[in-house]
Amino acid sequence: MQTKSLARFSFPGQFCMLKAPGVFLRRPLSIFSAFGNRLEFLYKVIGKGTKALSELKKGEQIEVLGPLGNSYLLETSKTPLLVAGGTGVASLNFLAQKLKRAGVIFYGAKKKTEFVPLETSAKRGWKVSFSTEDGSRGEKGLVTESFENYLKQNGGRNFIVYACGPNAMLRAVSDICKQYKSEGYVSLEEMMACGVGICQGCPAKSGGTYKMVCKDGPVFNINDVEV
């Protein structure tokens, strides 16, 4: 499938497997944005694969397998609240561009230099609430604290929550949603070898049974999945 088709048939929450030069296994990356014939990905350099991707020059070609996995629920009458931790903002940025109704993006990081611009979402009417652990931008503390304070002030049943980030953050979001009886979905971040469910290397327990994050997810109902 060519890039033109990839962008056309990609939905928020899905990911692609990118083959970096000199690296045997592909790397799973959430789709940050898709428009026209263009796909954008967001990643942090943490190992050999992402380092190789960061060293690509303009015009170089790589293998891309995707789009893979399921997607977020897009049709809803409730106000969306997006909770993003670190690079987990990638799939949620794409979601904010596609949802017809704007809400609030709770965006957390350790320090202000780790944030990426969300201009497109802001132009569409989304309010962005920043949180940093060191207090260098927005509220000082964890993003889940800002999220919970918002629900305390506004109630939870009129909102639908979407979250992506570290597992500890997702567990906290899940507990908060249960407390305020909020509907929600989480996108799990897992290491993957194949991306299509063959290697059985990315299990997650959901609805009492084990599912593969790559094939059955990465998006799961927040009330069903065990993070």
Question: What are 140-161's pLDDT values in tens digits?
Answer: 999 999 999 999 999 878 899 9
Query: 3-class SS at 104?
Result: strand
pTM above 0.85, yes or no: yes
Q: Where do the structural domains in the chain lie, given as residue ranges? A: 3-68, 79-226
CA separation for the pair 98, 100 (Å, rounded) = 6
Architecture category of domain 79-226 in CATH = 3-Layer(aba) Sandwich (3.40)
Architecture category of domain 3-68 in CATH = Beta Barrel (2.40)
Contact of 204 with 69, CB cutoff 8 Å: no
Instruction: Please list the ranges in the chain whose pLDDT falls under 70.
Output: 1-4
Q: For residue 1, what pLDDT is reported? A: 38
CB atoms within 10 A of CB 208: 7
